[in-house]
Structure 1
Amino acid sequence: MYTDRNRSRPGRRPVPRGRYQPRRPLPPLPGELYEPQEPDETGAPPPDLRRRRRWKTVRRVVYVLAGLFFVVPAIAFVVTYFSVDVPSPEKVAQSQGQAVTYLYADGTEMGKDVPAGGNRQILSPTQIPDVVKKAVIATEDASFETNSGFDVSGILRAAYNQVTGGSGGGSTISQQYIKVSSGDDAPTLTRKWVELAKSFKMNQTYEKADIITAYLNIIYFGRGAYGVQAAAQAYFGKDAAQLTFSESALLAGLIQQPGRSENPTVARDRWSTALDRMQRNGYLTAADRRAAKFPTPVPLVDSRQGNTVNPFIKKQVKAELAAAGIPEEKYYAGGFQVFTTIDSKAQDAAEQAVAQGMAGQTDDRILDALVAVDPRSGGVLAYYGGAPIVKGPNGEDQAGRDWADEAHNPGSSMKPFDLTAFLKDGRGLNAVFDGRSPRTFPDVPLPVRNAGTTSSCSETCTVAEAMQRSTNTVFYDMVLNVTKPSGVAEAAQEAGIRTKDNGGRSVLFTGDNNISIGGGQTAVTPADMAAAYASFASGGVQRGRHFVQKVTNAQGETAYEADTRATDAFADNDRGKSKQIAGNVTAALAPVIPFSRLTCPSGHECAGKTGTQQHTPGADEPASAANTNSQTWMVGYTPSVSAAVWVGGDGDKALRGPAGQPLTPSLVAGPVWQRFMQLYLAGKPGERFDRVQAITSPQDDQFQLQLQQEQQQQQFQEQQQQQQQDFTFGRGGNQDQQQQQPNRGRDRRDGRGPGRGNGNDTGQANFGP
């Protein structure tokens, strides 16, 4: 034991506080055991004293931390526990299942979306079969029977997943009930703290049977169904009391992802997971698990009374809001007003144009879709995906498929993205390729051919003429040897084409040169094509395609507002370059309209491209089926609207018109596009595209100069030959030779001969002065 050196001694002054002065050890006091410890050479306190001081500090810190982390939270938890209430299922139900009002872009009402089971029945514990409860407990909260409202191991597991990027949450059934009942799922500590207190109080106040019943009466299952009774009716057309274990497993699996309930792959995966967990928890035998068969839900037919919103538009809106943080379970619980981008005049024009274009078609396998986008905002002006309700094989009503949001082979309507990639590489519309047909390419097993009788071009075909004629051999050569398929895929993606379809499958393959002519595995949706061509119409500015301007809640507060910020589509942070590229694409597409025997609306400049996908005959089809098409397109735009029309079949089918003729863009898709543009733009001020400078390259300019010199030399030789013939045969000359001479001149003037390469190919003369 070390004595206190500051104690008073006769004749000694006390050492000032905070200082230490080494000196000789004092003799021990009576009864004191003392083992002298000398200070070290630096004059610091002995080690024993230093250790005691450190441990004293550590103990104080531990006591403070213990108070902060245990005592204070415990007191706060008790205070929170007594200050919160757990709402009843009946009260929660009053805030759920509210109709959502849809408005057109001008603020007029489009219709209402009324949820299924809005006036649902609140079931008692005895009205819900045990198999439903067990399926939900196994899937959502395996520790439900033993936890106190929250599961510490689940919370730790969720925290670990947050850090490591894993999946899986830590919320119990009680916590989920509290979250749904409050309508608050903000990722804040305060909200989570109150949720834990309410969950604990709920388990101290109610029996487990009452808690699981309350949960099953309010939870959202998809299809607009809140509560298990509404879900049983929506998915299986029966009461909850009649659900089988397999049906119960499907409903339990959908709780985590109700917004994807119509995706067959997701639904089957969630069903299988629920069955596995039921077996793991002892609710299902191995034999029953092996014998389980997937329960096919009844078709989703949106025929609820008062539900007047187009189901395809509603589907797109709900998906957009879910991505913005308003999932289905909150969508029907906020009394929302959805201000859409849909223009009522454009929507009416789309439906009228399709009806007129399809009139007289006798092949019921021919399907159609039309989407129009505003290039200035990215908002969808019109959306027609086909018939929302169709007849099933037994005459029953079934939900139609949204063909505007399904991917199809684009055919030649993909070629503008070939050109975009080519222009990004610094090449121009006056570049020359061999446009003859057929052509063979190294390592390509089959020759590439041009379609029809007007698409072939000369050996020195400019890119501008190739686009007008839709010359396959030119664009295949361009992509194979200049831009590469990856360049085309990148340009399409920059314009607004998604790289994967709704099922997660890739649709833009960077290693497939068939992307150049829109064949092979390349597939795009009409909605994406309308948005992508809008990037050309806007002068190289890309704005995300969207259906919603904003959403307000029952209190009139803005719950969501669309982000319409613009990006430079084809040149990062270079608006001028991106505009020049888009303008050159427009210059190439403008002559396609009259070449395709279409016209622009009066007073409006327009540009566009047709596309077809040829049918591949099966073994049981005649050889003539090879001359038919399975998909046709017309995609075009003015400065204020971009519209894509698709007319085709479900898969590769040989489609024909009413007279037995092959289905082509000029038969339906082209006229539908033209009629829509005329109807929508009628009475609107005329508009012109901005003029831009043509993109050229030294190598293309040099080749054009050489080509002109060769043409001049050829003309000189022909003149010399003509003079010699006149001298030989007299002034009348050879009559046959005189008849041949003008034909060669016309060959150069109309672009089929080698004289093509200047004039309109600069990319500006197509629009006039």
Structure 2
Amino acid sequence: MPGGPPQRPNTPPGGVRRPGGPGGPVPPPGGRPPAGGPGGPRRPGGPGPERRPGEEPTDLLPPVHQSTPREPELLTHREDEVELEPFYEDDEYDYELTEEEARAVRRKKIWRRVRRTSYITLGLMLLAPVVAFAIAYQVVEVPNPDEVANDQAKTITILYADGSEMAKITPKGENRTMVKYEDLPDSIKKAVFAAEDPTFETNVGFDMRAIARAAWYQATGRDSGGSGLTQQYVKKATDKDAGTLTRKFNEMVAAYKMSKQQDKDDILTAYLNTIYFGRGAYGIKTAAKAYFDIDDLKQVTPSQAALLAGMIQNPGRSEEPAYTQERWEYVMGQLLRFNWIDQAYKDAEQFPAMAPLQEESDLSPTRFHIKQQVLREMEKMEWGMEKAQTLGVTVHTTIDPKMQQAAEDAVAEVMQGQREELRTSMSAIDPATGAVKAYWGGNTTGLDYQTGTLQEPGSSFKPFDFVAALKEGQGAGEVYDGSSPREFPGRGKDNPVRNSPGVACAVPKQCSVREAMVKSVNTVFFDMAIKLGTGKVAQAAFDAGIPPVVEVNGEQKKLLVSETEGAPDGNISIGGGQTLVRPFDITSAYATFAARGVYHEPFFIAKITDGSGAAVATHIDNTRSAFDPDPKKSQDIADNVTDVLKAIPTSSKIPCADRECAGKTGTHELHGTVKNAKAWMAGYTPTLAAAVWLGTDSGNQPLLTPTGGDIYGSGVPGQIWKRFMDRALAGTPAEKFPKPNPIGRLDPPKPTTTAPPTTTTDKQDEDRDRDRNNTTTTQAPPTTTTQAPPTRPTRPCGIVGCPSTTSTTDEPDPEPNRNGAPPVGG
């Protein structure tokens, strides 16, 4: 065509633009409009077939005449842009988000950070223990057995309250006898494995399953060691037993290191040469001698080895029969479980007989029991023999040497010439603190008659009836029917409650609590306990200081409950039947009266010091308001009790010299007789409380004077108590009891009738608790019924007290006395 090709109208400067560029797209061949219509390429999702740019033919366009040079075109082509999901970084967004989208974004960011933190934390958790273990492995030291043995041989010094020396506990040279591995019989090795670490021969120094099991036991409130034998050796050798994760970790590392550096044979030998077995014995050779009087270890039987291994867990309880039996049975069971003994041997074996305890002490037998109490308290303070001898501590006790001597002299003087079967014990406590000032558990190193026996307290328990009444607002002037005999619901007509012979209120039908306490009228207190509820009497005793549960000879005993562990029967009112207490706890309870309603837990140790004199353990006072959460109300109750009890020492002809004192005597009758099997005197001044018990080992023998007279509370026990109190308090200020804030009526209303005179006027000045001067025997009055009492099983009485009898009535019957009368708390 002349003049060149025609110029396309409306062509923008610079030539034709490609799709997406300024000026819009280039029309396809044939003049067809671009897909999607004018204005640009078709958008995804628009009408028409999907465009495939790479498959379309390329059109050659005619040259364009333009005023400016054309830029060279790229040799590539662009595909249609694809919409991508926007990526949001921090708070920069390409468009404004809806509220829901913003929440989703925030959730994604939070979870992303949580994931990253979790990954880091998990990595540290996996890596940190490894690093810590590696570092600790280089730092910890494996203990040397010879050095450990030398550190265990330090002396323990026990002091009186004034700082003078009471005793020394010095390990002897033979306690350091070291044995070789070849001297250990297989019976001992297997028993120790069974008791302490069954996987010892294969583990790496510790057992992770045992540790996990111990952690579970602790989490569920149960006890478990969890430490393997090697760990135990490390703990004992390093004297580090704090219950911390750091200590446990270091112990595991040291045990592992020891297992890597030493043979298992050497570790076991070191362990058995240094571990404490109780009875003052360090090392297996000394333990075999102490427990079974055996010098050659190869003579130790598997049964004996089981007992020795069982005592490793708690060697301080070696003299508790129930505990040693339990541990022996456990180890024997473990030996059978791991096939180290067979069933026939286990069935044939009985608990091995232990040799008598050979205590080397510079203390007299009477003060031996003080030492034992001190050692028990050290265990409670987590300062057992092993730990104490490693440091060589000094134990400062609360025992006053003057008062202790007064107690020993009083017992010796009054008991001189008495019958051989009689046994006695006493203790004295400072009511202001709970400190035990004197303790006399017996004159031999055998049974401790203060804390090792359970006894019926008789009428010494009647003050707790009064406490229960005072808590209900009934005072000393409250009037009850003191007639005798009296029938009570559930007991039957053939089983009435009787007063002691010769005991009667001025007006029996209108007997005040004050008169009943001084004369020890059984029917009044039985009636009182039944009306108030026997459970309230038991609670009053618990409040005063009688423990609900005590440990006697290694056995746990629940006190002041019925045979079904419910509320006690009516005999609790007069301290008979199933009412059993330790003599020491009666002293503690009466100290609460002296402290005006404040209970302080008794204690023997004031503090423990190391070689430099620094205190490593100090007594912590466990105190509380006894009878009411309000200290003032508790004080009022105690003062009202004291106001009544302070007349009894004088009426019993055992008054304190030149000072006020209060107290209560008591007796418990011998089953089926009118004789007494137990006798008591418990009392106090504002500054000192003491109680004396008298009985026999069998519990079924009558208490008789050398001439055959009956012994009552004001007799031998009362005389011991009076002599002790007068001498112990000599030279101290004579303090008086405070005047009580009355609860209810202090005195009874005037009687409306006149009582007939009693027929035994010679007993009016004596304690109506059947306490006389041990010169006459009183016979029971004839019964008023002809019906025979129900038959009850008879069981022997022992040192832990007479067993209760059974009954088919609604109210459990007491032990029968005098044709069905209850035991008299005299």
Normalised by the size of structure 2, how large is the TM-score?
A: 0.76
Aligned to 2:497: 448
Aligned to 1:475: 525
Give the counterpart letter for 1:325 in structure 2.
Answer: E
How many residues are paired up? 673
Question: Aligned partners of 2:575 and 2:257: how far apart in 1?
Answer: 62
Q: 1:81 to 1:442 in 2, by over 3 A?
A: same
Within-5 A mapping of 1:20-99:
37-38=84-85, 42=97, 60-61=116-117, 63-99=119-155
Q: Kindly indicate which of the two structures has a greater share of residues assigned to helix.
A: 1
Q: CA deviation at 1:592?
A: 0.9
Question: Aligned partners of 1:306 and 1:432: how far apart in 2?
Answer: 53
Match among 356, 360, 369 for residue 417 of structure 2: 360
Aligned to 2:516: 466
Give the counterpart letter for 2:527 in structure 1.
Answer: D
Give the counterpart letter for 1:123 in structure 2.
Answer: V
Does the residue aligned with 2:391 lie in a helix, a strand or coil? coil
Normalised by the size of structure 1, how large is the TM-score?
A: 0.82
Q: CA deviation at 1:67?
A: 3.5
8 Å CA contact retained: 2:160, 2:401: yes
CA deviations over 1:290-313 (Å, ceiling 9, x no partner): 222210111224235789993311
Does the residue aligned with 2:166 lie in a helix, a strand or coil? strand
Within-5 A mapping of 1:519-530:
519-530=576-587
CA deviations over 1:104-149 (Å, ceiling 9, x no partner): 1111111112357774211111122121111011111111111101
Aligned to 1:643: 690
Match among 533, 539, 543 for residue 490 of structure 1: 539
8 Å CA contact retained: 2:424, 2:449: no
Within-5 A mapping of 1:360-439:
360-361=417-418, 363-389=419-445, 399-439=446-486
Q: CA deviation at 1:554?
A: 2.5
CA deviations over 1:301-352 (Å, ceiling 9, x no partner): 4235789993311222222222222234323333111111100000000000
Give the counterpart letter for 1:507 in structure 2.
Answer: L
Give the counterpart letter for 1:344 in structure 2.
Answer: P
Aligned to 2:69: none
Give the counterpart letter for 2:543 in structure 1.
Answer: E
8 Å CA contact retained: 2:465, 2:525: yes
| Unaligned segments of structure 2, at least 5 residues | 1-19, 23-42, 46-52, 55-75, 88-95, 562-566, 767-826
Aligned to 2:396: 339
After the TM superposition, which of the residue ranges 511-520 and 446-455 deviates more from structure 2? 446-455
Q: 1:424 to 1:62 in 2, by over 3 A?
A: closer
CA deviations over 1:375-432 (Å, ceiling 9, x no partner): 111100000011233xxxxxxxxx3444454221100000011111111110011111
Give the counterpart letter for 2:525 in structure 1.
Answer: F
After the TM superposition, which of the residue ranges 639-648 and 304-313 deviates more from structure 2? 304-313
CA deviations over 1:173-226 (Å, ceiling 9, x no partner): 111011101111111122112111100000001111111111111112112222
8 Å CA contact retained: 1:551, 1:559: yes
Larger Rg belongs to: 2
Aligned: 1:607 with 2:607: no
Within-5 A mapping of 1:114-513:
114-115=170-171, 119-239=175-295, 240-304=297-361, 310-361=367-418, 363-389=419-445, 399-445=446-492, 446-454=495-503, 458-481=508-531, 483-502=532-551, 503-509=555-561, 510-513=567-570
Q: CA deviation at 1:10?
A: 12
Give the counterpart letter for 1:101 in structure 2.
Answer: T
Q: CA deviation at 1:578?
A: 1.4
Aligned to 1:671: 719
8 Å CA contact retained: 2:544, 2:592: yes
Give the counterpart letter for 1:520 in structure 2.
Answer: G
Does the residue aligned with 1:501 lie in a helix, a strand or coil? strand
Question: Aligned partners of 2:82 and 2:188: how far apart in 1?
Answer: 77
Q: 1:580 to 1:88 in 2, by over 3 A?
A: same
Question: Aligned partners of 2:473 and 2:103: how far apart in 1?
Answer: 78
Does the residue aligned with 1:317 lie in a helix, a strand or coil? helix
Question: Aligned partners of 2:315 and 2:279: how far apart in 1?
Answer: 8
8 Å CA contact retained: 1:116, 1:224: no
Question: Aligned partners of 2:431 and 2:231: how far apart in 1?
Answer: 45
8 Å CA contact retained: 2:593, 2:642: yes
Q: 1:558 to 1:751 in 2, by over 3 A?
A: closer
Give the counterpart letter for 1:675 in structure 2.
Answer: R
Question: Aligned partners of 1:122 and 1:39: how far apart in 2?
Answer: 80
8 Å CA contact retained: 2:366, 2:440: no
After the TM superposition, which of the residue ranges 327-336 and 462-471 deviates more from structure 2? 327-336
Q: CA deviation at 1:49?
A: 11
Q: CA deviation at 1:169?
A: 2.8
Give the counterpart letter for 2:670 in structure 1.
Answer: H
After the TM superposition, which of the residue ranges 492-501 and 408-417 deviates more from structure 2? 492-501
Give the counterpart letter for 2:688 in structure 1.
Answer: V
CA RMSD of aligned residues (A): 3.3
Question: Aligned partners of 2:654 and 2:468: how far apart in 1?
Answer: 27
Give the counterpart letter for 2:560 in structure 1.
Answer: L
After the TM superposition, which of the residue ranges 645-654 and 118-127 deviates more from structure 2? 118-127
Q: 1:45 to 1:485 in 2, by over 3 A?
A: closer
CA deviations over 1:523-553 (Å, ceiling 9, x no partner): 1122111111011111111111111111112
Q: CA deviation at 1:656?
A: 1.3
Q: 1:696 to 1:10 in 2, by over 3 A?
A: farther
Question: Aligned partners of 1:243 and 1:664: how far apart in 2?
Answer: 51
Aligned: 1:686 with 2:734: yes
Q: CA deviation at 1:465?
A: 0.5
Question: Aligned partners of 2:726 and 2:614: how far apart in 1?
Answer: 38
8 Å CA contact retained: 1:428, 1:695: yes
CA deviations over 1:83-113 (Å, ceiling 9, x no partner): 2211111111112143211111111111112
Does the residue aligned with 2:278 lie in a helix, a strand or coil? coil
Question: Aligned partners of 1:381 and 1:504: how far apart in 2?
Answer: 27
CA deviations over 1:13-34 (Å, ceiling 9, x no partner): xxxxxxxxxx999x99999999
Give the counterpart letter for 1:227 in structure 2.
Answer: G
8 Å CA contact retained: 2:366, 2:444: no
% identical equivalent positions? 42
Aligned: 1:580 with 2:632: no
Q: CA deviation at 1:58?
A: 6.8
Question: Aligned partners of 2:363 and 2:586: how far apart in 1?
Answer: 33
Q: 1:387 to 1:324 in 2, by over 3 A?
A: same
After the TM superposition, which of the residue ranges 187-196 and 320-329 deviates more from structure 2? 320-329
8 Å CA contact retained: 2:505, 2:511: no
Question: Aligned partners of 1:434 and 1:142: how far apart in 2?
Answer: 68
